[in-house]
């Protein structure tokens, strides 16, 4: 369920990212649902840095639980920072009520900066370099069903695909569940066994 690795746009973006000293990625916006969507950017972060390193985190979440659009599940606002042991690679996720109406994916590596403004409503993406518009492209987020055939064909031809392995995905989810379960435990004052997010 982390299909961005299989999307041409993100695969081409990965090809452009070459770094030695540091890699920084942030995703920010308002109303993108941090609990249910963070996993996609954690996975994309690992896809870009090209290796499965031990990731630490620091969460700064608003002291309030929000009802999810699905009954019995929750959402939160705030930010979470993920980083490798030597801080060479960092991912920062931010979701507040006060940000722009567009989702922004920022990437910095070895003094280079790429800012990608994704507007799903207008089906476009604007790429900025050094604060100026570098390129505008059509961007339509494909449905899972539109990606499946390509994934199956890759597996049949190469015995592999770009999706994360089960063990990789397990580790990414586990780190998120620990963050949110601890948060819900403190707010609700009760032990959380099943993470109440979608």
Cα–Cα dist 63/77, whole Å? 9
- Tens of pLDDT, residue by residue over 30-67, are 778 899 999 999 999 999 987 667 889 999 999 999 98
Mean pLDDT value across residues 67-96: 89
Q: What is the pLDDT of residues 98-153, one digit of tens each?
A: 666 778 888 888 888 888 888 767 778 888 887 788 888 888 888 888 899 999 99
> Which pLDDT does position 9 carry in this prediction?
87
Q: What pLDDT does 23 receive?
A: 93
Q: What is the pTM of this model?
A: 0.89
Rounded CA gap, 58 and 61, in Å? 10
Instruction: Name the more confident of 93 and 125.
Output: 93
- Which pLDDT does position 30 carry in this prediction? 76
Per-residue pLDDT tens over the stretch 150-170:
999 999 999 999 999 999 999
3-state secondary structure string across 12-48: HHHHHCCCCCCEEEEEEECCCCHHHHHHHHHHHHHHH
**To the nearest whole number, what is the mean pLDDT of the chain?**
88
């Amino acid at each position: 369920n982390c299909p961005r690795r299989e999307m041409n746009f993100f695969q081409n973006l990965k090809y452009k990212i070459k770094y030695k000293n540091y890699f920084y990625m942030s995703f920010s916006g308002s109303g993108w649902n941090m609990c249910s969507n963070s996993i996609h950017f954690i996975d994309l972060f690992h896809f870009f840095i090209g290796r499965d390193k031990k990731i630490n985190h620091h969460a700064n979440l608003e002291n309030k639980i929000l009802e999810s659009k699905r009954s019995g599940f929750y959402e939160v606002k705030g930010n979470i920072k993920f980083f490798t042991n030597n801080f060479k690679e960092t991912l920062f996720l931010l979701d507040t009520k006060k940000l722009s109406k567009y989702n922004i994916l920022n990437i910095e590596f070895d003094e280079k900066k790429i800012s990608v403004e994704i507007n799903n409503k207008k089906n476009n993406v604007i790429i900025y370099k050094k604060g100026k518009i570098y390129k505008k492209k059509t961007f339509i987020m494909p449905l899972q069903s539109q990606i499946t055939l390509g994934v199956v064909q890759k597996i049949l031809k190469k015995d592999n695909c770009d999706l994360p392995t089960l063990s990789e995905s397990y580790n990414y989810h586990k780190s998120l569940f620990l963050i949110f379960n601890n948060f819900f435990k403190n707010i609700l004052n009760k032990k959380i066994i099943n993470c109440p997010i979608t």
